[in-house]
Amino acid sequence: MTSRHYNFDTTTERKDPNAVAQHGFKSYIFTEAQVAEFSYPDEELIPLWIADMAFPAAPEIVEAIKQRLDNPIFGYTKILDDSFYRAFVNWTRSRYGWEFAQEELLTTSGVIPALYSLIEYICEADDKVITFTPAYSYFKRSADYHNIDIVYSTLLNEQNEYRMDFNDFRKKASDPKVKVCIFCHPHNPTGRLWTEEELLDFGNICIENNITVISDEIHCDITRAGVVHTPLAKLFPDADNIITCMAPSKTFNLAGFLFANVIIPDEKLRRLWKRKHYLFENPLSLAAAQAAYEEGGSWLSELSTYLDNNFEFVKKTLAKQLPKAVFKVPEATYFAWLDMRAYFPEKENLTYYFAKHTGVIIEGGNMFVADAEGFMRINLACPQSVLKQALERICNHCQTM
């Protein structure tokens, strides 16, 4: 048995009044009038919505930040030596058997900003973007922002087992106006980690149709035991139309540091990015990201075991208490994606519904672009005691329906 060094059971108060998970949902997803109807007081709300964790960062990362603070000059900072590249490429090589050239690696303040920029750099006025639905809302927002039409290919769903519909995708991808596919791997919200076979079929369709893929792999480090992520770009070593986004933000709960990696094989696009993009780093974010990749492996491995247990806990609880909810432990991410249509046969805003009646802030299907009516996403990256309380409230409420 492996010994445990990190404690994920303790609840840690988010003391920051600007913590979005704890305080931001009021302005982000609800109106004031909706909040006024919640039946639980603020201090009893349980936030299991936005994709960050209720766990403190790994002590190794905190120590690296402290060390950087001991050198208290925080002037303009830019990745000039190769130490960050080495740390990150060692990470992708050892975990995914995948490497890329140093010049292909660019960094930015987040995957969302990268999506906005890449669509601007790649698309012309009447081009289109394609994505699979349900989808992370910023996939749509980034296209909308540039007035670029977005086309959806609905994922096939049988008992919460999702698959890409290649016939549909092939048909839509053959529209010459479709220039970019925003691809989520592993997929948020369903937690699917696409197999090599699926990735090959998908990638070949994109290549045949000259579509640039933005492969958002931000959730790739959080997988269930025994599941191995394959970066899409690894399967197409000669393709220059596959951009990979990865980040320490989800993996190590560092989203507030605003740091993400974007690997762009196409030299022309890289040149454009460098011309248009702000190329400096926050020195503390860089110290944190580098320490994460160099020293965060054992924390992540214990975190993954903890999350696996949380998923088992959810599975058992739902089977007993909410048997009509369709749920399957996903291959990746820390999200439980529940089909609640048996309990909600009519259209219902589940985000608001559960906040109002149970004080648990989850993300309902309305937050995932399309094809998610009657579904809900619960963030399981929290101590199991918190999850237990949240599930009790949700199950008790639904049992009375």
Ligand X SMILES: Cc1ncc(COP(=O)(O)O)c(C=O)c1O
Q: Report the interface residues with ligand X, using CB under 6 A.
A: 51, 110-112, 136, 184, 188, 216, 218, 247, 249, 255, 260
CB of 260 to ligand X, least distance (A): 4
CB of 108 to ligand X, least distance (A): 8
What strand order describes the sheet that includes 335-339? 335-339, 375-379, 363-364
**Which residue, 340 or 369, has its beta carbon nearer to ligand X?**
369
What residue is closest to ligand X based on CB? 110
**Could you give the count of Cα atoms lying within 13 Å of 372 in the half-sphere of its Cβ?**
26
CA distance 201 to 196: 9
CB of 36 to ligand X, least distance (A): 28
Question: What are the b/e assignments for 178-206, b being 16+ CB within 10 Å?
Answer: bbbbbbbbbbbbbbbbbeeebbeebbebb
**Which residue, 184 or 213, has its beta carbon nearer to ligand X?**
184
CA distance 280 to 78: 5
Structure tokens at 176: 């010459």
Look up residue 157 and give its amino acid.
N
CA distance 239 to 229: 19
Residue indicated by tokens 């890329």? 100
Structure tokens at 179: 């220039």
**Which residue, 216 or 221, has its beta carbon nearer to ligand X?**
216
Q: Where are the alpha helices (DSSP H) in 185-296?
A: 196-208, 248-252, 267-276, 283-295
**Which residue, 244 or 317, has its beta carbon nearer to ligand X?**
244
**Which residue, 131 or 317, has its beta carbon nearer to ligand X?**
131
φ/ψ of 51, rounded to 5, equals: -85, 65
CB of 222 to ligand X, least distance (A): 11
CB of 341 to ligand X, least distance (A): 23
**Which residue, 21 or 322, has its beta carbon nearer to ligand X?**
21
**Which residue, 250 or 393, has its beta carbon nearer to ligand X?**
250
Look up residue 275 and give its amino acid.
R
**Which residue, 335 or 344, has its beta carbon nearer to ligand X?**
335
* Closest-CA residue to 30 (of 357, 343, 358, 361): 361
Classify residue 79 by burial, with Cβ atoms within 10 Å: 0-12, 13-18, 19+: middle
CB of 374 to ligand X, least distance (A): 21
CB of 112 to ligand X, least distance (A): 3
CB of 255 to ligand X, least distance (A): 5
Structure tokens at 95: 């975990």
